[in-house]
Structure 1
Amino acid sequence: MPVINVSFQVLPQVPDGDTYAVVDRAIEVVRNSGVRHEVGPMETTMEGELDQLLEIVKEAQQACIDAGAKRVMTIVKIDYAPGGVTMEEKVGKYRNVP
């Protein structure tokens, strides 16, 4: 199975309003997964096999619920190519540019 990119954004409904703390729990799931990833201000992008990445998204949603969210809306983007696709080929030329 080719390496692909999955980006996702969780939008937790948090009763006390501390949304960032709940989103941090979702990001923690990604970090602990061991997959290559980049955290951005609006979403997190991961690189790997589709089934594994979608499972991480599911675990991240559950982490939000476990952290006190009453509901989680999640936006998912998938970039698939039969030969694979990497984050580096998309944004590598923009890294470390002053």
Structure 2
Amino acid sequence: MTLSAHIQFIPLQEDAPMQAVDKAILIIQKSGISHEVGPFGTSIEGKMTDVLMLIQSMLKSDISKEFLLNVQYHVGQARLSNMDKVAKFR
């Protein structure tokens, strides 16, 4: 089963928060999961097991001593792909 998700990594109490965000994005990029980086988060799309493994690896990371990880999932057989959702606006 494939699903779409939107991930927002928010480092807390960081001297260089954007560097921590860049490291979080690097974890996503290295996962090999289809993704698109946006100004407020990163949208991903892939096999459910791969997406859940990615989320778990982000939770276990040492990017920041304290962070918020907001994740929204879109699950369903009839769901639109991420590109289908935004195609008419591009």
Report the TM range for the smaller structure's normalisation.
0.7 to 0.9
| TM-score under structure 2 length normalisation | 0.86
Q: Secondary structure at the match of 1:70?
A: coil
Between the aligned residues of both structures, percent identity stands at: 27
Write out aligned runs for 1:1-98 (5 A). Answer: 1=1, 3-15=2-14, 17-63=15-61, 65=62, 67=63, 69-95=64-90
Q: Structure 1 85/51 Cα, relative in aligned 2: closer, same or farther at 3 Å? A: farther
Higher strand share: 2
Instruction: Give the 4+ runs in structure 1 shifted more than 6 A.
Output: none
RMSD: 1.6
User: 1:7·1:76 contact (CA, 8 Å) conserved in 2?
Assistant: yes
Provide the rounded CA distance (Å) in 2 between the counterparts of 1:38 and 1:46.
Answer: 7
Unaligned runs of 5+ in 1: none
Unaligned runs of 5+ in 2: none
User: Between Structure 1 and Structure 2, how many residues are aligned?
Assistant: 90
